[in-house]
Every structure is written in C-alpha cells, then in structure tokens.
C-alpha cells in the first residue's frame, strides 16, 4: 500500500502524457454528439480546428478518413507532433498595448506578401473529403490571402489546380513535388509548373522510402510515394540547375541538415516529419526549431525556415514563431475542413487568424514581428513528457 501511495503524486503527469489520440475533449461530444453519422454539424458550430476532425471522422467513410489521419507504426511521432507544444509554457507580459496586433499578422514568404504567417501544406487526395477537391484550397487561400502549396499527388492535376486560380494572376501558389530519377521528366515537370504560374517548387525530401503505416495498411490506403527514391545533396544541386524557380526543401529534421541547406544555396527549408507518417520516432517541428535555436540560432537569419506538423491552435503557431520560424504550415486541419467545401476551409483560416491575434494579445505581444524566444519558457516541465 505504501508503494502505491508513493506513486499517487506522479499519476496525473503520467496520465496527462498522452491525453488524446485525435482531438481533445472540449465539450463537443456533449453539444454535437447527436449529429447523425454521415452528416456534418452546422459550420458555425465549429469553434476550433480540432472540431473539424471530430466532424470529419463521423462524416467520411473509414478508409478516406484513415488516409488523412494515419501515422507511421505505433504513431508516437504523430502524437508527439500534437503534444510537443504543450510541454512548454508561455511567459506572458502584462500592461502592453496589444490593440493593433491584428495589423501585424501579415508576412512575406520568399518575398511574396500574405495576410498571415501560416499556409496550407501540401496534402494528397483532397477529393476524398469533397468533390471540388483542391479547388476549395485554391479559392479559400485566395480569398483569405494566404499561401497554398498543392501536392503533386493531389486529386486534381496541376493544370486543373492552376485553372482554379483567378485569371488576373494575382494569386501566389508554390508547387510540391516528388521526383523520380528520370531527369527528362523532372525538367518537363518543372517547366510545366513554372508555365502555370507557380512561384516556387517545394521538394519533399523526407519520403525516401515507403512509410511504415500500419493503420493505413488495414484500409489499403498507404503512401502515394512508395518507392525508394534517390535523394542526395548533389542531386539537389542538379535540380536547382533545372529551373529558375526557388527550390524549397521540405522535411528537414536536424540542425545539421539546415546548415547543409544553407551551404547548398537553398532559399528556404520546411521543418517537418511528414506529419508523423513516414518514420516513427522522428522529432516534431517544434523540437527541431528548438534545436536550431539552441545550437545555431543564426540560421534563422541565413535562410527562411518554415515548419509544419501538429499545429492546431494559435498558441502553437506563436511558439514556432517565437523561435524564429517565419511561417507555419497546416495539413490535416484543412483537409478535414474541406468536408465543408470552400466555406469550411475559409472558416478554418479565419479561426486560426483570430486565435493567433487573441493569443498574442493575451501573451502581451503588441507586434507579431517583435515576438521572440523570451516569451516562452523553453524548459520541459514534464507535464506532458
């Protein structure tokens, strides 16, 4: 009995270590739990990004939902992506004028102006959630003035996605790519996306082999890129010579590789572990950004660094920005929001903009450009370890 009592003080921390697999319990089940399966609750009742997954899981068929939701192996990296943000506490400042915080949300990404420091990350098969598929991302991103990066394995072709943009050419889109060893095909692809108006190429480098996705295998919805792929720094230099567009590296997971990206003239990198879908045990983007901050903070000045993975709240965005990340990508939340069509994607963007602004205000940040690492206690307090 005595040994059991000794352990009691530690139980809350242990139980809190993995409090949820999907979305947290914020009362949505109590209020919307009677929504019939296969239908969606009214959009105005969706109050945060996690609500979209709750709704999508009840609305989509199991295999389509699983394709968006799955992670590698035991899904520890998937869960860690979500939980990493909760391990670090803010250090709010009071008596600060925050009344103009919304006006400071705009940022630039590779010199292009956007209304907020986040973007829609590349995700495949948007058509699993809505018949208009990626058209909804194009339209909502344009209307809300944020960046959208289509996946090469989108439900729609690069031509169809380009055709969904406004005809005045005012929308900026980057194009994500997976590549084969066929240089002729690669050059043709680069020429095509440049002709269609893409302003940058985002080369995914964290998918050199098939992802070990147990959940996906049960439903037959594995990775769209399942072959071993030849990816080296020499190959990256070759790619840079095939196009006049900047080639961004997506999937960097260590400070060493960020240094190599700088050495090889990369214009930007995206810190990402592929949403925890490729290799279990990989670090979250927040942990990678923290490693850079601690070991080589000058890198944030030498190259544009973005991050994606596990972001669900405005507070998550702020923690990444505080370390020096320029812009933050979100994938799954927008895929689930797409069950509502363009209105759902637009609502998700608006919710996140609002959360970033009010969370920054409560943090005592009057200008998002002045947010820095001093606003967060970068020590793991063990609550969610």
- In whole angstroms, what separates CA 363 from the centre of its chain? 23
Active-site annotation holds for 347: no
Rounded CA-CA distance 208/228 in Å is 6
Rounded CA-CA distance 90/35 in Å is 36
- The reply to whether 115 sits in an annotated binding site is no
- The reply to whether 296 sits in an annotated binding site is no
Which tokens in the block code for residue 38?
A: 């296969």
- The reply to whether 204 sits in an annotated binding site is yes
Direct distance between the N- and C-terminal alpha carbons of the chain, in angstroms, rounded to an integer = 27
Rounded CA-CA distance 39/74 in Å is 30
- The reply to whether 69 sits in an annotated binding site is no
- Burial of 5 (C-beta count, 10 Å sphere; 0-12/13-18/19+): exposed
- The reply to whether 157 sits in an annotated binding site is no
- The reply to whether 89 sits in an annotated binding site is no
Which tokens in the block code for residue 239?
A: 């790619």
- The reply to whether 332 sits in an annotated binding site is yes
C-alpha separations of 142 from 43, 156, 267, 300, 352 in Å = 20, 18, 24, 28, 16
- The reply to whether 213 sits in an annotated binding site is yes
- The reply to whether 123 sits in an annotated binding site is yes
- The reply to whether 311 sits in an annotated binding site is yes
- The reply to whether 178 sits in an annotated binding site is yes
Crossing angle of helices 314-323 and 342-363, in 10° steps, is 60
- The reply to whether 277 sits in an annotated binding site is yes
Question: Which residues are CB-contacts of 185 (< 8 A; sequence separation ≥ 6)?
Answer: none
- The reply to whether 220 sits in an annotated binding site is no
Taking phi first (over 0 means left), then psi (-120 to 50 degrees means alpha), and beta for anything else, what does residue 169 get? left
Query: Which residue in the list 274, 293, 347, 354 is annotated as catalytic?
Result: 274
- The reply to whether 377 sits in an annotated binding site is no
Listing DSSP states for 164-199 in one string gives TS-TTS---B-EEE---S-HHHHHHHHHHHHHTT-S
Residue 107, SS3 per DSSP:
strand
- The reply to whether 124 sits in an annotated binding site is yes
Residues serving a catalytic function are 274
Sequence ranges of the binding site: 67, 122-124, 151, 176, 178, 204, 213, 250, 272, 274, 277, 308-312, 331-332
Sequence ranges of the binding site for glyoxylate: 67, 178, 213, 274, 277
Sequence ranges of the binding site for FMN: 122-124, 151, 176, 204, 250, 272, 308-312, 331-332
């Amino acid at each position: 009995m005595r040994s059991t009592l000794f352990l009691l003080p530690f139980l809350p921390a242990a139980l809190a270590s993995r409090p949820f697999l999907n979305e947290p319990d914020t009362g949505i089940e109590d209020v919307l739990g009677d929504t019939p399966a296969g239908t969606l609750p009214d959009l105005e009742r969706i109050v945060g990004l996690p609500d979209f997954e709750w709704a999508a899981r009840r609305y989509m068929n199991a295999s389509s939902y699983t394709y968006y939701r799955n992670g590698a192996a035991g899904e520890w990296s998937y869960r860690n992506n979500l939980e990493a943000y909760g391990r670090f506490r803010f250090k709010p400042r009071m008596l600060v004028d925050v009344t103009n915080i919304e006006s400071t949300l705009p940022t630039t990404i590779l010199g292009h102006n956007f209304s907020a420091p986040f973007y829609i990350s590349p995700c495949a098969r948007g058509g699993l959630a809505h018949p208009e598929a990626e058209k909804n991302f194009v339209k909502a991103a344009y209307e809300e003035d944020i960046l959208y990066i289509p996946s090469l394995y989108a439900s729609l072709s690069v031509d169809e996605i380009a055709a969904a943009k406004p005809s005045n050419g005012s929308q900026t889109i980057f194009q994500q790519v997976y590549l084969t060893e066929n240089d002729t095909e690669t050059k043709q692809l680069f020429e095509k996306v440049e002709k269609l108006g893409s302003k940058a190429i985002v080369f995914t480098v964290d998918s050199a082999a098939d992802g070990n996705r147990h959940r996906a295998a049960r439903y037959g919805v594995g990775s769209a890129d399942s072959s071993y792929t030849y990816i080296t720094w020499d190959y990256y230099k070759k790619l840079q010579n095939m196009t006049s567009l900047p080639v961004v590296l997506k999937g960097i997971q260590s400070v060493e590789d960020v240094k190599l990206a700088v050495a090889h003239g990369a214009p930007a990198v995206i810190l990402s572990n592929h949403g925890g879908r490729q290799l279990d045990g990989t670090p979250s983007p927040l942990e990678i950004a923290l490693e850079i901050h601690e070991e080589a903070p000058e890198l944030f000045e030498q190259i544009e660094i973005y991050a994606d993975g596990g972001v669900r709240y405005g507070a998550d965005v702020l923690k990444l920005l505080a370390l020096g990340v320029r812009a933050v990508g979100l994938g799954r939340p927008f895929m689930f929001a797409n069950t509502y069509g363009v209105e759902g994607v637009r609502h998700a963007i608006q919710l996140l903009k609002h959360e970033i602004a009010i969370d920054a205000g409560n943090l005592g940040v009057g200008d998002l450009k002045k947010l820095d690492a001093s606003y967060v206690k970068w020590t793991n307090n063990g609550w969610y370890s």
